[in-house]
Structure 1
């Protein structure tokens, strides 16, 4: 018996094995979403989200919960990093400093407006800041990073879940509606790409909306969104500094480490230097799209419609008003600057 006990695999191997088995579910959903898009048309990201939400009851299993956590966070970041393989520094330079100024204005003003509207709705200050950061910067990732900076004593986990669910729904709606709106307004090219990158919350939906309009719009939207995501680090540092006297153990707050930005920049540099062949760029792009699909399927699996309907109306209303504000501001900005 002792020999058999010694021969058993270590606990970490068993945990990772269970996580790998759980990851088969979002991978299968992503594959099904890709199949539906190839044969029926429509946005694969939306299919992945809806299929995941339909199968939400499977998320109760611990190994699937762990797998969705990894696929939804690390998978998305890997997918975003791989997007750098089809972007060059020349494209970033073409957008110019005025694009960075517009994005900074959108982020700062959206958070401030969220605080003002939150006071009107009698929403706690910390909740309004998390909502504004989620809409203004990068959706679920910003909500989690800002909530972590404020500590769980300030922001309840249930609130963060509601923000993530609502922002995902709003961002997915924008992914579907904004391209149609831009077509109706006869906006395309750089204007459309900058608008999508400056107004849509989550990276995956920006990519989906951009490349749904065309390769040029998709590239501009991706670069614009990455410039906006880069503002997450200073935003979290400023917010943590603002709440430093209100939060115990503020010195323990650590800034986020967006390693995927470094990976994105590295691939952009390699692509700009001509180190990728067309086949390599195509392969990395396909891998990026699939990782983002898996992440979207994981988000769907973690989203419960029952929890969404049982939540209060104030926070979703605040997020909706923030979304309308940043969309209007981005639209005015692209009209004035281009």
Structure 2
């Protein structure tokens, strides 16, 4: 949590401990209900994207801006950091190893290559646009793997400040939302089959909810392959964060002293891997998987509302111009890479 937002020692009348979190968590709960209601009315709008948008609106409307920056801030920061980690753990319940292997080795190699090229290309583009290394790393992680969830995981592994995740989350949400509107318009001009469009969506759109919203426009066949391709990208979250953690330890290692170094893989990433393994056993009934998916949506939705509520549009416009251009260039690069892979996966 940023030093500038650290709360002073509670004085008389100032809430202590968990009581300080209640206003922000209550605000996140209300926003979640509203996001799910809007999603139910307009299924093409993912609830997670709506959670971010509602957070941004809450931060920038005169009536609620003071609330999100004041009394609600501790709870919103808690949601953005800790509830995000819980959501990442439960995200593993959506990934079955059997479903991934059913794609075939060629598809797995291509998807891995797309993630690697997307990560490297996005990081390079971000640095060319003179974004700070931390921002470039988070943007590359979010764009190449699974959106805000990946950003949260990478931030934890590299011990990046919570406040530094705000801009990358805003960019990945914006570009993922752009994909929902743009990619379906290209199906007919590019003469894509439903399967190719689904594979393209899964290989190039950032967040799982955004993939579903985009692919379902082309029907069940597109949606089926899109989800599996996307979850294969999600599975790469564990090795990517492990490599980042190992690199971070090496770069911070004092002479022969491992004390105080961050773990190579945080516990919540190990939890994600454990949930993938549990899902892959086939032991869990559909009811448990649905309950896990619902709880994951609640945790990630609250986290994304918390992150969105830290975005100040005026500051973003003044400081985020280069970041926006870098994000759009990266979005185009990943779309091209994903389409090339999709054409080879579905032949």
Output the TM-score relative to the length of structure 2: 0.73
Does the CA-based 8 Å contact 1:82-1:288 persist in structure 2? Answer: yes
Whole-Å separation in 2 of the counterparts to 1:254 and 1:14: 29
Match of 2:41 in 1: 39
Whole-Å separation in 2 of the counterparts to 1:151 and 1:84: 22
Q: Provide closer, same or farther for how the CA distance between residues 199 and 291 of structure 1 changes in structure 2, counting only shifts above 3 A.
A: same
- CA offset at residue 325 of structure 1? 0.7
Map 1:176-195 onto structure 2 (within 5 A): 176-179=181-184, 181=186, 185-189=191-195, 191-195=196-200
SS at match of 2:16: helix
1:310 aligned onto 2:315? no
Match of 1:9 in 2: none
- CA offset at residue 54 of structure 1? 1.3
Does the CA-based 8 Å contact 1:206-1:221 persist in structure 2? Answer: no
Q: Provide closer, same or farther for how the CA distance between residues 72 and 193 of structure 1 changes in structure 2, counting only shifts above 3 A.
A: farther
Q: Provide closer, same or farther for how the CA distance between residues 299 and 206 of structure 1 changes in structure 2, counting only shifts above 3 A.
A: farther
Whole-Å separation in 2 of the counterparts to 1:54 and 1:206: 24
Does the CA-based 8 Å contact 1:84-1:265 persist in structure 2? Answer: yes
- CA offset at residue 167 of structure 1? 2.6
Whole-Å separation in 1 of the counterparts to 2:206 and 2:316: 19
- CA offset at residue 87 of structure 1? 4.5
Match of 2:51 in 1: 48
- Equivalent in 153, 169, 172 of residue 164 of structure 1: 169
Superposed CA deviations along residues 146-170 of structure 1, whole A, max 9, x for unmatched, are 6777787xxx987654333223322
Does the CA-based 8 Å contact 1:210-1:222 persist in structure 2? Answer: no
Match of 2:98 in 1: 90
Q: Provide closer, same or farther for how the CA distance between residues 87 and 172 of structure 1 changes in structure 2, counting only shifts above 3 A.
A: same
- Equivalent in 194, 206, 214 of residue 201 of structure 1: 206
- CA offset at residue 255 of structure 1? 5.1
Q: Provide closer, same or farther for how the CA distance between residues 149 and 270 of structure 1 changes in structure 2, counting only shifts above 3 A.
A: closer
Q: Provide closer, same or farther for how the CA distance between residues 238 and 316 of structure 1 changes in structure 2, counting only shifts above 3 A.
A: farther
Match of 1:5 in 2: none
Does the CA-based 8 Å contact 1:117-1:318 persist in structure 2? Answer: yes
Structure 2: gaps of 5 or more residues:
1-14, 60-64
Match of 1:220 in 2: 228
Q: Provide closer, same or farther for how the CA distance between residues 192 and 81 of structure 1 changes in structure 2, counting only shifts above 3 A.
A: farther
- Equivalent in 58, 74, 81 of residue 73 of structure 1: 81
Output the TM-score relative to the length of structure 1: 0.74
- Equivalent in 27, 30, 51 of residue 29 of structure 2: 27
Aligned residues: 318
Map 1:135-154 onto structure 2 (within 5 A): 135-140=143-148
Map 1:177-326 onto structure 2 (within 5 A): 177-179=182-184, 181=186, 185-189=191-195, 191-203=196-208, 205-206=210-211, 209=214, 214=220, 216-217=224-225, 219-237=227-245, 240=248, 244=251, 254=262, 257-326=265-334
- CA offset at residue 229 of structure 1? 1.8
Does the CA-based 8 Å contact 1:100-1:227 persist in structure 2? Answer: no
Q: Provide closer, same or farther for how the CA distance between residues 87 and 228 of structure 1 changes in structure 2, counting only shifts above 3 A.
A: closer
Q: Provide closer, same or farther for how the CA distance between residues 209 and 73 of structure 1 changes in structure 2, counting only shifts above 3 A.
A: farther
Q: Provide closer, same or farther for how the CA distance between residues 321 and 16 of structure 1 changes in structure 2, counting only shifts above 3 A.
A: same
- CA offset at residue 334 of structure 1? 1.4
Whole-Å separation in 2 of the counterparts to 1:119 and 1:148: 21
- CA offset at residue 126 of structure 1? 6.2
Q: Provide closer, same or farther for how the CA distance between residues 24 and 333 of structure 1 changes in structure 2, counting only shifts above 3 A.
A: same
- CA offset at residue 222 of structure 1? 4.5
- CA offset at residue 93 of structure 1? 1.2
1:61 aligned onto 2:70? yes
Whole-Å separation in 2 of the counterparts to 1:161 and 1:61: 17
Root-mean-square deviation (CA, aligned residues, Å) is: 3.8
Q: Provide closer, same or farther for how the CA distance between residues 77 and 39 of structure 1 changes in structure 2, counting only shifts above 3 A.
A: same
Whole-Å separation in 1 of the counterparts to 2:212 and 2:80: 16
